[in-house]
Amino acid sequence: MANEKNVQPGIRDGEQGETGAQFPVWRPQDADREYYRYETKKRIQHYSVPPQTIFRPAKPTPTIRDEEHKRVAVYARVSTKSKEQVSSIENQTKYYTEKIAKTPNWELAEIYSDEGKSGTSKKWRPEFKRMLEDASKKKMDLIVCASVSRFARNISDLIEEVRKLRTTNPSNPVGVYFETEDLYTLDPNINERLQMQGLFAEWESGNKSRRMILSYDQRICTGQFPLSDLLGLRHTIEGGFVIEQEEAKTVKYIFLATLCGHTAGEIADVLTDKQRQTLRGRTEWTAPMVKAIMENERRWGDLEVRKRVVIDYKEKVTAKNDGLREGAYIPHYHEGIVSPEIARAAHMMRASRYKFGSVPDVYVIDNGALKGFVSISPIWSGIDNQAFQDISRQVYNENEFEELEHQANIVNGIEHSNVASMSLNDYRIAPGVMFMTRSDPQLTFSRKTLKLNGACWDKLDQQKHIEFLYHPVLEVIAVRSCTAANPNAVAWDDKKSGLQLRTSAFSNAVYDKLDWMRKYRFRFRGVTRVRGGERIIFFFLDEPQILIGKDKKKIDASNASDSTAKYIPYRESDCRKTADFAARVAYPENWQGQFGVSYDIKQQRSKVLDTVSSADIRNHGTKVINPFIGIIPSRGEIADELDQIYDAM
């Protein structure tokens, strides 16, 4: 047999191969197989069991009707907390308690029930998880459940947990009996049936989710909006809301206390001390709970339907409904607990961290060289370009505003002035921003921030507080020193390193007004005026240095135009794709070939700057209606109403 590895099929014994070697006798390829078959048959026929052998028969296939004593647990689940579902779980509890008591070899271990829990995942079912933990500690022998769908609507969870119950303690496996399907998981012959029932349960859950989505779509399209109760409001069968007066006191207190400067945490402490109940009867309040009350638009009379949508019904993953499915927003849908103006004011108060315990009044300068400039806090939220336009316009009559727009167009190069001599109109001067150095005051805009460099602090005589002014028509930002008592005062603590503020709303308003491309940042050179010891810096937003580089540190270190400076379109309306320039800075495309702005425009701007007086710089302005909010009660009236609600709670 040692030479069999050299046998070539089809060559007979004694014949020579190509190399001349001798080979054994040729054999059919299946000869060995036939030989072993013969030997196997002969061995089985002559084999006999040793007489001393003791056979141990297997236990019979387990069934639910075994006579062995069993500690039986029951699992019941309903997916909602409706009256019908509560009745269902109570009926299950009573039914299985009696059934176990009537079965001679059964002893009730415990009943586990999850109310208002979906079966698509085990994550949010505390009683289900506790039951599995108890099973691993050998506290039961059998689990009884009404159906596979009550145990799990996720086939992965179903198969995994049944396997663990059977194998974690092999000497004491725990079986699950599903009464509706008559399946007992310790029976090895039901695996395929169990998997099939699990698939049906999962499919049914998915189909139910799809039916609910379709039903929601239909109700929204027909105006039958899904409503539910919330603190202070009760929905009606007609599809509206009515105010629940006692609960409404809590809601009003939250909004008014916010307007009076109290934080969400402070408000939560008061509500807890007062034992004010939530919709579910809780009396312990937290800051997030207070904020959630304020964020629901139904509290001020609006209605938003389908704010969020389910992305994965098994894992309960949701996302903001940003056009993913049908939705609707209906202003003034019902009577609100608070007015929309109070709600807007409270939101701005919380988001912008206003001072003095209330939303500050809005001031606009109504006379002098700074007429139309709005005193702003750059950290304001909920504002837009139109709001600034409305504020500024309140101090002009119709003719004045038309003239203002004409002057603004002259300054911005859109129109020429009606001067007698046009000889200097074509004479152009390079913008100062093209020669900007580190010692010049600089303002830098991005989509989210506003930054002043350290030179601004020096130019403002190193003042500790500054105020921002903005003229939305002339497109000018001014910065002046002020006292800490000014409602819009900005503290400047870190002097030399400059001042940087997060200004998302204000930045967006300016970007919208000037149609700037949002991928760029913009830097401006300030022009300082000193009058009688009063100081102010003007930044003209039509003379930008455009920051296009990706290395922000290099951009911030840049003090002058690069020798490789480019001229680019920088407005969204240009609708052109700009190249990825090697230069870190660029300038408006219309400066190319003309090199700057006209002498006449410069003259118009100089007149504005030269007429500024110390009285103008000190002018605090006049109070106007706040278009961000609307008309709300005075601070004193709000404080009085808050005290009344506090006493009534």
Average pLDDT over every residue of 452-459: 91
**Which range among 109-118, 202-211, 313-322, 460-469 shows the weakest confidence by mean pLDDT?**
313-322
Domain shared by 254 and 122, yes or no:
no
| Concatenated DSSP letters of 153-216 | S-HHHHHHHHHHHHHSSTTS--EEEETTTTEETT-GGGHHHHHHHHHHHHHHHHHHHHHHHHHH
CA dihedral 110, 116, 121, 127 (to 10 degrees): -20
Task: Tell me if 34 is assigned to some domain.
Answer: no
Per DSSP, the three-state class of 552 is: helix
Q: CA nearest 454: which of 469, 444, 445?
A: 444
- Specify whether 502 is located in the same domain as 598: yes
Is residue 505 a part of any domain in this protein? Answer: yes
**pLDDT band per the 50, 70, 90 thresholds, residue 539:** very high
Least confident of 122-136, 172-186, 621-635: 621-635
Q: What pLDDT, in 10s, does the model give residues 427-453?
A: 445 677 788 888 899 999 999 899 999
Q: What's the token pair of residue 193?
A: 């049936």
Q: What is the pLDDT of residue 648?
A: 92
- Per residue in 146-168, pLDDT (tens digit) is 888 888 888 888 888 899 998 88
> Alpha-carbon torsion 112, 197, 156, 172, what sign?
positive
Which DSSP state fits 105?
T
CA–CA distance, 61 with 57 (Å, rounded to integer)? 12
179-205 per-position pLDDT tens digit: 988 899 998 888 888 888 878 877 777
Q: In what order do the strands lie in the sheet with 106-115?
A: 106-115, 70-78, 142-145, 175-178, 183-184
Asked whether the predicted pLDDT for residue 480 surpasses 50, the reply is yes
When mean pLDDT is compared over 54-68, 309-323, 332-346, the highest value belongs to 332-346
Task: Give the pLDDT score at 10.
Answer: 45
Mean local confidence (pLDDT), 404-410: 70
Share of the chain above pLDDT 70, in %: 81
Measured between alpha carbons, how far is 38 from 24 in angstroms, rounded to an integer? 23
Which pLDDT value is given to residue 91? 85
pLDDT value of position 588: 85
Q: Do 103 and 188 belong together in one domain? A: yes
564: confidence class by pLDDT, cuts 50, 70, 90: low
User: What is the domain-level CATH number for residue 179?
Assistant: 3.40.50.1390
Tell me the Ramachandran region of residue 176: left when phi exceeds 0, alpha when psi lies from -120 to 50, beta otherwise.
beta
Q: Assess whether 16 and 74 both reside in one domain.
A: no
Portion of the chain with pLDDT greater than 90, in percent: 29
Distance CA 644, CA 642 (A): 5
Q: Does 248 lie in the same domain as 199?
A: no
Asked whether residue 549 is domain-assigned, the answer is yes
230 DSSP assignment: B
Report the CATH number that the domain containing residue 270 is assigned in CATH: 3.90.1750.20
pLDDT at residue 249 is higher than 90: yes
pLDDT computed for residue 141 by the predictor: 93
**445 and 313 fall within a common domain:** no
Length of the chain equals: 649
Q: What is the pLDDT of residue 496?
A: 67
Interatomic CA distance for residues 617 and 91, integer angstroms: 79
In angstroms, rounded to a whole number, what is the distance separating the alpha carbons of residues 162 and 183? 12
Candidate from 34-43, 132-141, 225-234, 284-293 with smallest mean pLDDT: 34-43
CA–CA dist 277, 283 (Å, integer) = 5
Q: What is the pLDDT of residue 625?
A: 77
Q: How far apart are CA 75 and CA 149, in angstroms?
A: 12
Is 551 found in the same domain as 435? yes
244 and 200 belong to one structural domain: no
> What pLDDT, in 10s, does the model give residues 2-38?
444 444 444 444 445 454 555 555 556 677 777 788 8
560 and 437: one domain?
A: yes
Judge whether 33 lies within some domain.
no
Q: Is the pTM of this model over 0.75?
A: no
pLDDT tens digits for 67-123?
889 999 999 988 766 555 567 788 888 899 999 999 999 999 999 998 877 767 777
Is 554 within the bounds of a domain?
yes
Degrees, nearest 5: CA angle 248-249-252: 85
Q: In the chain, how many domains are there?
A: 4
C-beta contacts of 122-130 below 8 A and 24+ residues apart: 122/152, 122/154, 122/157, 122/161, 123/315, 124/316, 125/77, 127/75, 128/75, 128/77
- Please state, as a whole number, how many other Cβ atoms lie within 10 Å of the Cβ of residue 394: 15
Q: What residue numbers bound the domain in which 4 lies?
A: 1-28
Q: Considering the domain boundaries, does residue 16 fall inside one? A: yes
Work out the average pLDDT over 253-263.
89
Computed over every residue of the chain, the mean pLDDT equals: 80
pLDDT, tens digit (0-9, with 9 covering 90-100), for 573-616: 776 555 555 557 888 887 776 555 555 555 556 667 888 999 99
Best CA proximity match to 544, nearest among 387, 412, 415, 428: 412
Domain shared by 245 and 173, yes or no: no
Residues 522 and 567 in one domain: yes
Query: Are residue 345 and residue 432 in the same domain, yes or no?
Result: no
Domain membership of residue 423 (yes or no) is: yes
Residues 6 or more apart from 599 whose CB is under 8 A from it? Answer: 424, 425, 427, 428, 429
Q: How far is CA 266 from the centre of its chain?
A: 25
Residue 608 lies in a domain: yes
State mean pLDDT over 413-418: 54
Q: Which residue has the higher pLDDT, 6 or 323?
A: 323
Q: What angle do CA 363, 367, 372 make, to 5 degrees?
A: 55
pLDDT of residue 365 exceeding 50, the answer is yes
Please compute the mean of the pLDDT values over residues 452-458 and round it to a whole number.
Answer: 91
